[in-house]
Structure 1
Amino acid sequence: MVDGGAYEKSLLDLGALGELARLAARDTPLPPTPALSFTNPETRESIQVLGPHWALDHQATTRRALAPLSEDNEYVDVVIALLPDGTLQRIRVIQSTFATGSGSPTYTDEPDVRPVTEADVERLDFSMVRSVEPPVENYEDWGMNEKLGFWGTRRGRDVVGSALVHRSRGAGLAHVLNSVRSGTLAALPKPVRLHDVPASMRPLGDPKGSESVKMQRKVSLGRAFSLLGSRALVAIGVWMALGLLILASNNVGDDPAFAEGSYTDVAWSLVCTLILGFLIDVFIGIGKGQTFVVGALVGIALFLYVAVYRAGLWDEFVGPTPATPTPMDLSMFWVAPIAGLVGYLLSSLLVNRHQVHG
C-alpha cells in the first residue's frame, strides 16, 4: 500500500518531467497519432483539436440530466498528450446536447487546449475509476424534478474510489513518459476516441425519441400522483378542522359566526388547488413545497384583511356589540390557497427552467 504521508511530503519536479518528456518524444520508436478530432453531429464536420501526439492519459465522462420533457447530455473528454517537440498539453473537449418535447435539439462544443498544470500531473498518480451507465431508475434525484446520471472514467484525489498508486508526486507521469520512450504500450491508454455524439438527435416528442426520457416521464408522473395523494390528506385535514370550527361557532349562541355556505367555500377552494397543483407538477415540473407555504401565509393575510377588516367585523370586535353581529364571510377563502399556488408555480418554473426554456 502506498504511503500517503510520504507522497504529501514529496516535491513535484516539473523541470525533470519536462526534460523526460523531450527525451521520450525524441527517442520513442512509436509513431505519433496523426490527429485528435471529433465530429460535429449537426454539420458532420470533423474538427481537429490537436495535431500529431502521443496520448498519455484519457478520461471520458457522460452526464445526463432527465426531466419529464427534456434531456440534457454533457460529454467530456480530457486527454494528456505529448507533442513531437516534447511539450505536454492537456486537451479538454466538452460536447453538449439539449432536447425538449418540441423544437429541434441543440448541440454545442467547447474544445480547449493548454499546457499541463501541477494538478494535471498529480492526477496521474491516482488509479483510474471506471463506471457504467446505471439504469434510469437508479439515476440520482437532482433538484425537485430532475434525475441525474453520471458515468465514465476518471482519476484524481477528488474522485471517489481513486486510490493513490505512486509514492511521489509526478511518478505517474514519469511512468507513462518512460513507456513512450521505450515503446511499451501496456502503460498507455488505448487509441483515444473522443465521444461520438449521436448524429440523429431527435426532439423528445418524436416516437423514436430517447427511451430513457420516456422512462423518466413515467417516474415523474408517478411522483406527481404520489404528491397529489399526500396533499389530498392535508387538504382533508384542513377542511375537517375548519368544518368543526364553523360547526361549533355556528351552534354557540343565537347568531351564527360564519356565513351560510362556508363549508362549500372552503371545500371548492381546496379541491381546485389540488387539481391545479397536480397540473403544474405534470406539465411544468415539481416545485418547492416551502414556497406554497409562504404564498399561502400571504394569502391568509389578504383574506383576513378582506373578510375581517374591510367587512367591518374588526369595528364590531373593538367597538360596541351590535344587536345582530355580522357573520364572517368565507367566500374569499380561495385567496389563501391560490396565493400559495402562485408561489409554488414560480418555484416550479425556476427549478425546471431548462425544461421550460425549450
Structure 2
Amino acid sequence: MKVLTLRKSMVWGITAALFGMGTSSAMEQGDPVLEAYASSYDLSYEEARDRLAMINPVEMDLLEKQLSALPGYVGMRIVHKPELRIQVFADGNATQLAAKARTRVPIEPVNVPRSIAQLEQEATAVSAVLRSRKIGHMYYFDLPAGRIEFHIEAKTTADRELLNSLSSKSAGIRITYVGSVMEETANFVGGQNVNGSQSCTSGFTVYRISNPAVRGVITAGHCTDSNQSSVVVNGVNFSNPQNRMYLGNYDQMWFTQAGHTWTNTIATGQSEPATIQINATASPQVGLFLCKFGQTTLQTCGEVIQTYAQVYNPDNNSTGSWILVKNILLGPMTMAGDSGGPVFGSGGVALGIVIGRGGQGSPNIDNMFFAPVSRFGAINVSILTTN
C-alpha cells in the first residue's frame, strides 16, 4: 500500500505547550507511559520519546476531528510495528483524505469494503434480536475486513441455533460464544459502602462545571448502588454524593467533601515517578498507547483496539459503548478493585476511567474496557488540569 509522508500540523503549538519539545519536557521528567512504550516495543528511550511526541493523545484527537469532518472518512488506527504509521480508513477516497491529514506521522490510506452505515444497520438488527431475548452480547467492527465481530452469551441450544441462522445469512458477521461478555472490576463490601482504596479506585480530581470552586473525585458508577449515601476513598468518608449514572453509555459518579485539598495529580503505581500531573484531556483513537492505574493490578499499559465496542448488559437492559484496550503484556490488564481508576496517555493526558474487562471465556478477558472523559459532562463535572 502507498504510504504518504505529510506536512507538519498546525497544532504543533499545542503539542509544544504540553510536551515541552525541549529539555524541560514532561517526558524527560519520568513519564510512566514513555517507559512502558519503550519497553513494550523494544525502542530506545530517545526513539520512544520522539514517537510519543508525534502521536500524543491531544494531537491525535485533533487529527481525528479534522478527518472526521471530511466526506468518506470511516476511521483511523495508529500502527506501531514494524514502523510507526497511521492508517486512514475511508469509503473509496482514502488517498484523497490522507493527503489532507495534518500530522507528522506517515499515513497509509485504506479503502474499506463496507461503510459504517452498512455495518451499523446489520449490527443493530442482530443486536435487537439478542436484546429481545435478554442475551448478553457485545459487538464491534473490523473495518479493514468489513466484518462485525459479535461476542455472545448464548446459554441454550435454541439460542445458538437462532444465532447461527442469523450469521449464515451474512458473510459479514462472525460470532464467538463466551461465558460472560464483560466483568466489572469492582468488589462490594459490607453495608454496600465502597472502600475506594481496596474495592474500587478513585479516578481523577474533578470540578463542578457550573461552580468550579466545588471539587471532588470521580469513579465508576457501578461501585455503588442507587441508594448509596457515602463512599470511602483512601480512608476518608465522602458523605456527599453528587451525581451517579449507571445506564447505557454512562458508568460514572462523583463525590465531594468540604475541608480537603484537591490537586490534579494521580498515582502511577511506580516508584519513580509515584505521581504525575494531569495536564490535559483527549479522546482516544484505535492504536493509541496508554496506561491505567488500579488498586489491584497497579499500572498496566496497552493499545486501544476499539473505540466503538457495544456491550449489552441484561441486568439494566441497556447497551453501552466503551473503549477496548488490549493488554500489551501477558495476563489481565485490570481486575476486581480497579474500576474507576484513571486511564491516561503520555504527557499526563487524561483519557477516561476503568469500567471492566472481558468475562470468562471471552477473548477480551485480559483486556480492559474504559469510559472516555468526554462523557463526564453528563454529571456536570470536568477534570482538573494544569492547562
TM-score of the two chains, using structure 2 as the length reference = 0.21
Larger % of helix: which? 1
| Structure holding more strand per residue | 2
Higher-Rg member (1/2)? 1
